[in-house]
Amino acid sequence: MSSAGNSPGRPRGVVEGARDAVSVRPGLSPVGVSIALAVTWWLTGLIWVVQVVQYPGFAAVDPGTFPVFHALHSDRITWLVAGPMLVEAALAVALFVRPPRGVHRAEAAILLLLVGVIWASTAFLQVPEHERLADGLDQDSVRRLVATNWVRTVAWSLRAIGLAWLAPRVWRAG
C-alpha cells in the first residue's frame, strides 16, 4: 500500500476497501460555494446598475467632455469588476471540475457556460463599443452598448439565481 492509502493499480484518491470505491477527493467546499455566491451576486448587482443607470447615462454626457468621462468610467469600473470576474471564473471551473455533494455536474456546467457567455459578450460585444466610445460620444454606440449588455445582465442574473438555488444543498451536505 502506498503512503496515500492506495494499493498498486488502484486509482489515486480511491481508498482501498472503501465501499464501491468512493473517491476521497472533496468537491468545492461550502466556503468556496459561499464565495462564488457572494462574488456573483456582487457582479449581478453591479451589472444591473451599469445596465439601468450607467450605460443609458452615457447618452446624456456632454460630447465635449465625453472622452474624459468615458476614460474615467473605464478605468474605475475595471477596478470593480476585474478581480471579482477572475475569482468568479476560477470558482466556476472548480465547481465544474469538483462538484460538491448535492450538485450535479450538469448544474455546474450550466453555471460555467454562463461565465463563458459573460466573458464572450464582454470581449466581442461590449469592448468594441467601449473602444469606439473612447474616441468620443457616438449615440449609436451607446444604443448598441445598452442593447448588447442585456446578454451579460441576463447571464449574471441566471448565475446568481442558480447559485442561490444550489448553495443551500451544499451547505446542508457539509
pTM for the whole structure = 0.85
Model confidence over 28-70: pLDDT tens digits?
A: 999 999 999 999 999 999 999 999 999 999 999 999 999 999 9
Q: What is the CATH number of the domain that holds 36?
A: 1.20.120
| Residue 57: inside a domain | yes
Q: Is 118 exposed, middle or buried (0-12, 13-18, 19+ CB in 10 A)?
A: buried
Model confidence over 98-118: pLDDT tens digits?
A: 999 989 999 999 999 999 999
| Residue 137: inside a domain | yes
- Look at 87 and 173; give whichever has higher pLDDT: 87
- Number of Cβ within 10 Å of residue 39's Cβ equals 22
| Residue 7: inside a domain | no
The predicted structure's pLDDT at residue 25? 56
Range of the domain at 112: 30-173
DSSP string, 125-148: IIHHHHHHHTTS--HHHHHHHHHH
CA–CA separation, 34 and 40 (whole Å): 10
| Residue 101: inside a domain | yes
| Residue 152: inside a domain | yes
User: Is 90 exceeded by the pLDDT of residue 18?
Assistant: no
The predicted structure's pLDDT at residue 4? 47
Q: Give the total number of structural domains in the chain.
A: 1
| Residue 2: inside a domain | no
| C-beta separation of 91 from 35 below 8 A | yes
